[in-house]
Structure formats: C-alpha cells, structure tokens
Amino acid sequence: MYKERAGERVPIQPELVIFCGPMFSGKSAELIKELKRAPHAGYKVLAFKPALDKRRGADSINSEDGGSHPAISVKHSLDILNFVTPEIDIVGIDEGQFFDNEINDVCIRLVNQGKKVIVAGLDKNFKGEPFGPMAYLKQEAEEVQTFQAYCHTCGKPASFTQRIVNGKPANYDDPIVIVGAAELYEARCRQHHEVPGKPGVK
C-alpha cells in the first residue's frame, strides 16, 4: 500500500470515497479519471463492476463520454476479496447500486486493510428513493462527492433519474432494476421528475 518516491515510502490514505448522483452526471467518468491518474503517482489500482451490467462489455468500466478502464466483472461482492492482493493501493467499484448488501462489509474490510476504495453509483433509483446499498456506503464514507446532471426537460441541475417506458414515465410499482442507458433513462430536476402512483405524490 505504498508508492516509491525519491527513496521514501508514502502510504496511500485508507478511506472510502463515494461518487454518486443521477445517470449522466459523470460518476463513472470521475472514477475512470481517478483510476488512470493514480498509477502516475506509483499507486496500483484494480477496478470491478457487477456482472449484471453488460451494456458496454464485461471487462471494463465505461462512461457516457467514451472513457473506459479495465475492470473485473463479479457476480457477488465477496468475490472482490479474491482478487485484491496486498500490493493493490486503490480499489475502484462502478455501479455500486447493483451489488448485494455485502458490498458494505467488503468495502470496510478493504479500507481496514489499508486500501483506498472508490465506489461510483446511483444513490437514488427511478422512484427517487435510496438505491441498494448506496445509502449505507454514503454513511460509512470519509468523503462523498455528489454529482448533478442537466435536466432533460428544462436544462436545470438534475439530481433524479427518470425511467421512460414507451414514451411515458415508469410507474412506481415497476421493477427497481432494469439495466439501460439513454433509451430508458433521463436525468430530471425535482420539478420534472415524475413517478405515477408514488405514495403521497399527487
């Protein structure tokens, strides 16, 4: 967990960092940037993604702006521990919302081993509610960076993800997880985020 510089060993800061926000806000792009920048300082990195996400191949993290970084696709979060060796300094995890809840313990274990762990993911599902393990990860993190996109409807800052089905907003009772991109989802501000059937919303 050290880099060599001018004959001295400089330890990485063990911590959990979260990049969160709606779709199209640049979370994965920021993760990729961190993973590509760190090796220039002598740090060794390793990236992971959930096997569920096959949108742009199973062996890389990819961003909407065309960026990519090699990644290991895993079905279960505990599988990550099988790949992270002592010399790895930084562990990047994309699409954190799609992992099982054991991802929480995996991240903390890695930090306790001296790693810097960066998780990028949607903190809210299409209903505007906490998505998977992301709320717990945000609570545990030393640093949380929340990104915004541009509202597809009005262009204002957007913090919500809108699911569109046959040209209309998805209903509250629709399945939580449907993997997709621009063909199914838009970024929306609060004013234009629509969830028909959501309790307490007229």
- 15/183: higher pLDDT: 15
Do residues 161 and 122 lie in contact, with contact meaning Cβ atoms separated by under 8 Å? yes
Do residues 197 and 171 lie in contact, with contact meaning Cβ atoms separated by under 8 Å? yes
102 is catalytic: no
Q: Which of 30, 95, 186, 194 is catalytic?
A: 95
Top mean pLDDT of 52-56, 104-108, 176-180 is at 104-108
Tens digit of each residue's pLDDT (9 = 90 or more) over 16-44? 999 999 999 999 999 999 999 999 999 99
Q: What is the pLDDT of residue 76?
A: 96
Count CA atoms within 13 Å of residue 30 on its CB side: 19
In DSSP terms, 11 is beta-bridged to: 2
Do residues 147 and 25 lie in contact, with contact meaning Cβ atoms separated by under 8 Å? yes
Q: What is the pLDDT of residue 17?
A: 98
Predicted confidence (pLDDT) at residue 61 exceeds the cutoff of 60: yes
Structural domains of the chain sorted by starting position, each given as residue range(s) with its CATH number in brackets: 2-147 (3.40.50.300)
Q: Is 69 helix (H, G, I), strand (E, B) or coil?
A: strand
Report residue 185's pLDDT band, with 50, 70 and 90 as the boundaries. Answer: very high
Q: Which amino acid is at 33?
A: K
Tokens of 9: 């060993």
48-85 exposure pattern, b = at least 16 Cβ within 10 A, e = fewer: bbbeebeeeeeebbbbbeebebebbbbeebeebeeebe
What is residue 82's DSSP assignment?
G
Q: What is the pLDDT of residue 136?
A: 96
* pTM: predicted TM-score of the whole model, two decimal places: 0.91
- Looking at residues 159-182, what average pLDDT do you find? 88
